[in-house]
Structure 1
Amino acid sequence: MNIKKLKDLIQQGESSTLEFKKSTGQLSSATETVCAFLNGDGGVVLIGVTNNGDILGQDVTDNTRKEIAREIHKIEPSAQIEVQYIPIEKSKHVIAITATPNDHMPYVYDGRPFQRNQSTTSKMSQHRYEQFLVKRGQLNYSWEDYLTDYTIDSLDQEEIHRTITDGIRENRIPASAAGDIPIEILNRLKLLADGKLKQAAIVLYAKEELADFPQCMIRMARFRGLDKLGDFIDNQLKYGNAFYLLKEADAFLQRHLPIASFFKANQFKRIDKPILPVLAVREALINALCHRDYSNRSASIALAIYDDRLEIWNNGTLPDKITLADLKRPHDSLPRNKLIAKVFHARGLIERWGTGTNKMIDLCKKEGDPEPEFSEYTGGLSVIFKFKEPIGTTRQPITPLPPLTNRQKTILAIIESSDELVQIQKIMKELENPPSQRMVQIDLNYLKTQGLIEQIGKGRNTLWAKKPR
Structure 2
Amino acid sequence: MSESQNIEWKRSWHNDYLKWICGFANAVGGIIYIGKDDDGAVTHLEHHKALMESLPNKIRENLGIICDVNLHDEAGKKYIEIRVNPYSVPVSLRGRYYYRSGSSKMEMTGNTLNEFLLKKAGKTWDDVIEEGASLDDIDDNSIKTFVKDALKSGRMPHDIGELSTVELLEKIRLLDQGKLKRAAIILFGKDPNRFYPNIKVKIGRFGINDADLRFQEVEEGNIIELLKTVPNQLNYKFFIKPIDFEGLLRIEKEEYPVAAIREMLLNALVHRSYMGSMVQMRVYDDKLNIWNEGLLPEGMDLESLKHHHISRPRNPLIADVCFKAGYIDSWGRGTLKIYEACKEAGLPEPEITNLDGGILVTVFKKETSSLNDQDNAVAGGQVDDLEKSIEQVRREFGLLSDRIALGKEKNIAFLRGNYGVFTEEIRKKFGINTEEIRKKYGRNAIDILMLFMLEPSIRSKDIAVILELAASTIEKVIAKFKDDEVIEREGSTKSGYWKIIEQK
Q: Is the contact between residue 196 and residue 275 of structure 2 (CA under 8 Å) also seen in structure 1?
A: no
| 1:314 counterpart (284, 292, 295) | 292
Which runs of structure 2 are paired with 1:182-201 in the superposition (5 Å)?
Answer: 182-201=165-184
Matched residue, 1:151: 134
2-side partners of 1:143 and 1:369: how far apart?
Answer: 37
Q: TM-score, normalised by structure 1?
A: 0.53
Q: Does 1:333 align with 2:311?
A: yes
Which runs of structure 2 are paired with 1:32-51 in the superposition (5 Å)?
Answer: none
Which runs of structure 2 are paired with 1:5-404 in the superposition (5 Å)?
Answer: 136-148=118-130, 149-225=132-208, 227-230=209-212, 232-254=213-235, 255-259=237-241, 273=253, 275-296=255-276, 299-389=277-367
Cα–Cα, structure 1 residues 196 and 388, in superposed 2: closer, same or farther, change >3 Å?
Answer: same
CA deviation profile, 1:218-250 (whole Å, cap 9, x unmatched) = 11100122x2111x3221122210122222221
Q: Is the contact between residue 335 and residue 341 of structure 1 (CA under 8 Å) also seen in structure 2?
A: yes
2-side partners of 1:375 and 1:235: how far apart?
Answer: 23
2-side partners of 1:289 and 1:312: how far apart?
Answer: 10
The offset of 1:140, in angstroms, is 3.5
Q: Is the contact between residue 200 and residue 218 of structure 2 (CA under 8 Å) also seen in structure 1?
A: yes
Q: Is the contact between residue 330 and residue 355 of structure 1 (CA under 8 Å) also seen in structure 2?
A: yes
Q: Is the contact between residue 304 and residue 312 of structure 1 (CA under 8 Å) also seen in structure 2?
A: yes
2-side partners of 1:224 and 1:238: how far apart?
Answer: 21
Q: Is the contact between residue 307 and residue 392 of structure 1 (CA under 8 Å) also seen in structure 2?
A: no
The offset of 1:316, in angstroms, is 0.4
Q: Which one has a bigger Cα radius of gyration?
A: 1
The offset of 1:401, in angstroms, is 6.5
1-side partners of 2:383 and 2:272: how far apart?
Answer: 39
Q: Is the contact between residue 142 and residue 225 of structure 2 (CA under 8 Å) also seen in structure 1?
A: no
Q: TM-score, normalised by structure 2?
A: 0.49
CA deviation profile, 1:108-162 (whole Å, cap 9, x unmatched) = xxxxx9xxxxxxxxx9557798698765542232110111121111111121122
SS in 2 for 1:359: helix
1-side partners of 2:191 and 2:370: how far apart?
Answer: 36
- 2:140 maps to amino acid: Q
The offset of 1:178, in angstroms, is 1.7
2-side partners of 1:287 and 1:256: how far apart?
Answer: 20
Matched residue, 1:35: none
Q: Is the contact between residue 259 and residue 341 of structure 2 (CA under 8 Å) also seen in structure 1?
A: yes
Q: Is the contact between residue 198 and residue 278 of structure 2 (CA under 8 Å) also seen in structure 1?
A: yes
Q: Is the contact between residue 143 and residue 295 of structure 1 (CA under 8 Å) also seen in structure 2?
A: no
2-side partners of 1:130 and 1:314: how far apart?
Answer: 19
Q: Is the contact between residue 161 and residue 182 of structure 1 (CA under 8 Å) also seen in structure 2?
A: no
1-side partners of 2:334 and 2:252: how far apart?
Answer: 25
Which shifted more, 386-395 or 341-350?
386-395
- 1:208 maps to amino acid: D
1-side partners of 2:118 and 2:318: how far apart?
Answer: 21
2-side partners of 1:186 and 1:399: how far apart?
Answer: 56
2-side partners of 1:104 and 1:160: how far apart?
Answer: 37
2-side partners of 1:260 and 1:207: how far apart?
Answer: 28
Cα–Cα, structure 1 residues 339 and 126, in superposed 2: closer, same or farther, change >3 Å?
Answer: closer
Cα–Cα, structure 1 residues 341 and 260, in superposed 2: closer, same or farther, change >3 Å?
Answer: closer
Matched residue, 2:461: none
In structure 1, the gaps of 5 or more residues are 1-102, 107-112, 114-122, 262-270, 403-445, 450-469
Q: Is the contact between residue 307 and residue 391 of structure 1 (CA under 8 Å) also seen in structure 2?
A: no
CA deviation profile, 1:145-184 (whole Å, cap 9, x unmatched) = 1111211111111211221221122110001212111111
- 1:303 maps to amino acid: M
- 2:256 maps to amino acid: L
2-side partners of 1:390 and 1:258: how far apart?
Answer: 13
CA deviation profile, 1:25-46 (whole Å, cap 9, x unmatched) = xxxxxxxxxxxxxxxxxxxxxx
In structure 2, the gaps of 5 or more residues are 1-87, 100-106, 244-250, 387-420, 425-504
CA deviation profile, 1:59-90 (whole Å, cap 9, x unmatched) = xxxxxxxxxxxxxxxxxxxxxxxxxxxxxxxx
2-side partners of 1:127 and 1:291: how far apart?
Answer: 24
Q: Is the contact between residue 219 and residue 226 of structure 2 (CA under 8 Å) also seen in structure 1?
A: yes
1-side partners of 2:203 and 2:96: how far apart?
Answer: 39
Q: Is the contact between residue 280 and residue 290 of structure 2 (CA under 8 Å) also seen in structure 1?
A: yes
Q: Is the contact between residue 280 and residue 363 of structure 1 (CA under 8 Å) also seen in structure 2?
A: yes
Cα–Cα, structure 1 residues 380 and 260, in superposed 2: closer, same or farther, change >3 Å?
Answer: closer
Matched residue, 1:40: none
Cα–Cα, structure 1 residues 393 and 190, in superposed 2: closer, same or farther, change >3 Å?
Answer: farther
2-side partners of 1:247 and 1:399: how far apart?
Answer: 35
How many residues align structurally? 276
CA deviation profile, 1:297-338 (whole Å, cap 9, x unmatched) = xx1100001122101000000111211111111110001111
